[in-house]
Amino acid sequence: MRTIPIKVANAFNSSILGCFSDTKICCLGIFCLPYLSSRNKADVDERDCTICDFLCCPREYFTRLQIRTKYGFEQNTVSDCITTSICLPCSTCQDARELEERDTIIR
Contact 6, 78 (CB under 8 A): no
Banded pLDDT at 94 (limits 50, 70, 90): very high
Burial annotation 9-42 (CB, 10 A radius, 16+ → b, else e): eeebebeeebbeebeebbebbeeeeeebbbbbbb
Q: Is the pLDDT of residue 103 over 60?
A: yes
In tens, the pLDDT along 59-92 reads 888 899 999 999 999 988 888 888 887 888 999 9
Q: What is the pLDDT of residue 66?
A: 92
The whole-model pTM stands at 0.61
